[in-house]
Amino acid sequence: MNYEIASASPDGKVSPQQSRAIVAQLRRAQVYRDYEQAFRETTGLPMALRPLEAFDLPHHGDPKENPFCALMAHSNHSCAACLQLQRRVEVEAQYEPKTLKCFAGLCDSAVPVRVGGNLIAFLQTGQILMHVPQRTDFSKMTRELVQLGTEIDVKRLEEAYFQTRVVTRRQYESIVRLLTIFAQHLSALSNQLMVSGAASEAPAISKAREFIAEKHADELSLGEVARAVNMSAFYFCKTFKKATGMTFTDYLARVRVEKVKSLLLNPHKRVSEAAYESGFQSLSQFNRVFRRIAGESPSNYRDRLHGDSKHRAAG
């Protein structure tokens, strides 16, 4: 599979096609399937991983879909209103989690999944109320539906509406926080996928990946890798970019960043030590590359990883 995040447009945006390809791979990952099941069973709420510009209802057909929302999805007018809400959530959740309310007062939330400066997908949940539903709320909502021209079975709708899950604001903030943490894990997984490649790629590219994995801590050059796979530097550069969607320089940087992340699992490892052990030749270059790929400074990454500022490296 060709992951072309690194060769996205100059403004740093991933195309919807690239996003769909990445999301398809992430959904098949065992860690995603395990988390998705655990999230639904623990919270009782729906969960969706959506690519960019996915103009559909994110939770329709989900095992935990709100019955009220399921009924709404069958009406063209109310469905259109829900789709407009999804578009608003996507626009407003580019950099941080966002929660919005629909016309019926139900909340839906989106959490961005980013790799460095690139937005690649959204994690979503919701279809809940943060207050106990009242008759006045239902009456107001049904009047709006009538104004929209929606044909409704009031009795069924009322029954479903008053069965809507009620979650306190604090509880819901914790649920969204869980998604935010998982979004960070998916970001790391996306980066790993970008440097892992597909089993069906050309033997020379697989050999090049293995060579880079073995020698990444050295002062590795494109010419050295090209010679290792018996290619000219020009042809190797062209072939490698086509196979991986990345230049050799960006691929090597991502391999090194993954190595740094692995080393920083040790809370006593200094950031500077991890950088040099992974092949970076200067701290200024390392800090710049790590921030571009990981979306945060290496010190912030380690502090967040261990949740303890006392281990902050002096550099």
Compute the Cα dihedral for 227, 229, 233, 237 and give only its sign.
negative
pLDDT at 78: 62
Asked if residues 205 and 169 have their Cβ atoms less than 8 Å apart, the reply is no
207 shares a domain with 273 = yes
Distance of CA 107 to the CA centre of its chain: 20
Q: Which helix (H) or strand (E) holds 101?
A: strand 98-101
Mean pLDDT by 10 residues, the chain (315 residues): 40 72 88 94 95 84 92 71 80 90 91 85 95 91 78 86 94 94 87 61 86 91 94 92 85 91 87 94 92 86 68 41
Q: Is there a single domain that holds both residue 121 and residue 214?
A: no
Last residue of a domain, one of 190, 222, 238: 190
**Same-domain check for residues 237 and 162:** no
Let me know whether 58 and 166 are in one domain.
yes
Looking at the fold, whether 224 and 261 belong to one and the same domain comes out as yes
- Domain shared by 179 and 207, yes or no: no
How many other CB atoms are found less than 10 A from the CB of residue 153?
10
* Domain end call among 156, 190, 224: 190
Query: Looking at the structure, do residues 230 and 150 belong to the same domain, yes or no?
Result: no
pTM attached to this predicted model = 0.65
269 and 211 within one domain:
yes
- The reply to whether 133 and 240 lie within a common domain is no
Its domain, for residue 297, covers 199-311
The candidate with the shortest Cα–Cα distance to 14, out of 110, 124, 114, is: 114
Structural domains of the chain, count: 2
In this structure, what CATH number is given to the domain that contains residue 244? Answer: 1.10.10.60
Last residue of a domain, one of 143, 163, 190: 190
pLDDT computed for residue 1 by the predictor: 38
